[in-house]
Amino acid sequence: MNPDPEFRFEIGQLVRHRRYGYRGVVFDRDAKCEAEDEWYENNQTQPPRDRPWYHVLVDGREHSTYAAQSNLEADPSPRPVNHPWLEKVFSSFVAGRYYKENVN
């Protein structure tokens, strides 16, 4: 296991899934996959478990996903995400990024 993971994405950053094309916002991250073995084994792609994984609020949906860093890329769109949990997780959206506390 990598003791000091190299996270490519920050909480509040907009991302896009490379394979499935959905966009969303990172609301949490793990240094390694924390999902149950059964969930991981049923995952279609099974990327490395010992690298960073991200919890993502999916744009235009009412659910979140758990995606491996290798399956995500930065989303260049400055458009906000449409998700019912946004107000519970973030307090503001400034210049294409979400923040947990107000930023002026």
Question: Could you tell me the two tokens for 32?
Answer: 């390694």
Return the pLDDT at 103: 60
Return the pLDDT at 64: 97
Contact 66, 8 (CB under 8 A): no
Return the pLDDT at 41: 87
Q: Name the residue with higher pLDDT: 61 or 102.
A: 61
Q: Is the pLDDT of residue 1 over 50?
A: no
Tens digit of each residue's pLDDT (9 = 90 or more) over 41-70: 888 778 889 999 999 999 999 999 999 999
Question: Could you tell me the two tokens for 59?
Answer: 């744009």
User: What does the pLDDT average to over 73-84?
Assistant: 95
pTM above 0.95, yes or no: no
Tens digit of each residue's pLDDT (9 = 90 or more) over 5-37: 699 999 999 999 999 999 999 999 999 999 998
The CATH architecture assigned to 14-99 reads Roll (2.30)
Contact 64, 41 (CB under 8 A): no
| DSSP assignment letter at 14 | E
Three-class DSSP labels, 53-101: EEEEEECCCCCEEEEEHHHEEECCCCCCCCCCCHHHHCCEEECCEEECC
Strand partners, 54: 29, 67
CB atoms within 10 A of CB 23: 17
